[in-house]
Amino acid sequence: MGTATLSLIPETYVELPEQELDERIARAKATLGSRLVILGHHYQRDEVVKFADYRGDSLKLSQQAASRKEAEYIVFCGVHFMAESADVLSGDHQIVILPDLNAGCSMADMANLEQVEVCWDELASVTDAHLVPITYINSTAAIKAFVGRHGGAVCTSSNARKVMEWALARGEKGLFLPDEHLGRNTGYRMGIPLEQMVVWNPHEEIGGLSEDQIRQGRVILWKGHCSVHQRFLPAHVEKVRAQYPGIGVIAHPECRWEVCQLADEVGSTEFIIKRVAESPAGSRWAVGTEIHLVNRLAQELPDRFVVSLEDCGCLCSTMFRISPQHLCWTLESLLDGRVVNRVSVDTETKHWARVALDRMLEM
């Protein structure tokens, strides 16, 4: 399993003024030089992501960090499962740090290893169909390792269709973890009818399904979701179109099926950024994803009109936990010879998680 030792930020960092924080972070980063690489996920706040050497989604960032062989320290400004993935893909000489270990992911937490093992055994007791597991990158290293051991693969929001096609070509059924919305949206775009995608609820006996539902289902979707993307509703699409006639609606595939059906376009974070950036000047977009990314697009592309699909804004509260104070403390601790908030995955889990990741990358 992954291990981490929680260190708490000293009070002296909490009240530091913004300018002093910026100066100290920049100074520590410069002093550490090539020994350090800072990763910033797209959903991070601006005050943090501006110090990142690389900005991107979780898999892309982990791969970039692994390519920086000279870096001893990988500081991942993201959430826990991302730091685990970086540790799985990085070299033995590299140390992965999450500035605040309380930065988790509600979706990843919705599928733990014990629940998935129970599900697997209960499905096998109902059907003898060959079942191939798929896990979204937004899952714990333990779940990725489970999938690796059982002949499955990891997927991202960009390649979920390709991985699901691969899984269903190898087996009669797929088990998709842990985001039911990404699984349903992907399967539907492949032509799988909604009634052939059933939802396994780990908190109910036999997943809350009948034996007939399990036998007839082609894809078993895990009952999990992203707390940010779950908030977008069909009513938000209707409201934004009424408010801004002709606006383009683009949604992340972690959104509900009903929202994705109403959107003009659906795609990953990288797809959203590319699509909006490459659209003509004067284009207008309502974007269904995390508010920091939406606001950043609006700031960086002033000749486009970019708003959130839901005007109250959808903030990833766990991503928001990584603050400039945490980043400053993390870097200055390294200067003092101390590693705080290291994330480390044990050898066995790392091996099988890497198998699941490699199967995806080979596609």
Same domain, 210 and 270: no
Q: Could you tell me the sign of the dihedral formed by the alpha carbons of 77, 331, 53, 63, in that order?
A: negative
Same domain, 149 and 201: yes
Same domain, 118 and 79: no
Rg (CA), the chain: 21
Q: Count how many domains the chain has.
A: 3
Same domain, 79 and 47: yes
Same domain, 212 and 292: no
- Whether omega for the bond prior to residue 178 falls within 30 degrees of 0, making it cis, is yes
Contact between 7 and 341 (Cβ < 8 Å):
yes
Q: Do the domain assignments include residue 165?
A: yes
Q: Do the domain assignments include residue 313?
A: no
> Residues 6 or more apart from 99 whose CB is under 8 A from it?
75, 77, 322, 323, 326, 327, 329, 330, 341
Same domain, 222 and 122: yes
Same domain, 118 and 216: yes
Same domain, 121 and 84: no
Same domain, 184 and 250: no
Position 3 pLDDT exceeds 60:
no
The angle at the Cα of 340, spanning 338 to 345, to the nearest 5 degrees, equals 115
Same domain, 129 and 221: yes
Helices and strands: H and E segment counts in the chain? 16, 15
Q: What is the tens place of the pLDDT at every residue in 114-129?
A: 999 999 999 999 999 9
pLDDT at 321: 82
Looking at residue 24, which CATH number applies to its domain? 3.40.50.10800
Burial class (CB in 10 A: 0-12, 13-18, 19+), 321: middle
pLDDT at 152: 98
pLDDT at 8: 81
Q: What is the tens place of the pLDDT at every residue in 258-311?
A: 999 999 999 999 999 999 999 999 999 999 998 889 999 999 999 999 999 987
Contact between 323 and 104 (Cβ < 8 Å):
no
Distance CA 206, CA 118 (A): 9
Q: Do the domain assignments include residue 357?
A: no
Distance CA 266, CA 185 (A): 9
Q: 201 is in which domain, residue-wise? A: 108-226
Q: Could you tell me the sign of the dihedral formed by the alpha carbons of 178, 184, 189, 190, in that order?
A: positive
Q: Which of 193, 226, 259 is the last residue of a domain?
A: 226
Q: Do the domain assignments include residue 360?
A: no
Comparing CA positions, the residue from 110, 106, 223 lying closest to residue 175 is 223
Comparing CA positions, the residue from 112, 70, 108, 120 lying closest to residue 91 is 70
Q: Which of 190, 208, 226 is the last residue of a domain?
A: 226
pLDDT at 257: 98
Q: Do the domain assignments include residue 72?
A: yes
Comparing CA positions, the residue from 98, 9, 111, 110 lying closest to residue 61 is 98
Q: What is the tens place of the pLDDT at every residue in 183-221?
A: 999 999 999 999 999 999 999 999 999 999 999 999 999
Contact between 333 and 22 (Cβ < 8 Å):
no
Distance CA 69, CA 200 (A): 41
Position 84 pLDDT exceeds 70:
yes
| Average pLDDT, integer, range 246-252 | 97
Same domain, 202 and 115: yes
Share above pLDDT 90 across residues of the chain, in percent, rounded to a whole number: 81
Q: Output helix, strand, coil percentages for the chain, rounded to the nearest 5.
A: 50, 15, 35
Q: Which of 168, 192, 226 is the last residue of a domain?
A: 226
Look up tokens 């685990």; give the residue: 84
Same domain, 281 and 205: no
Share above pLDDT 70 across residues of the chain, in percent, rounded to a whole number: 96
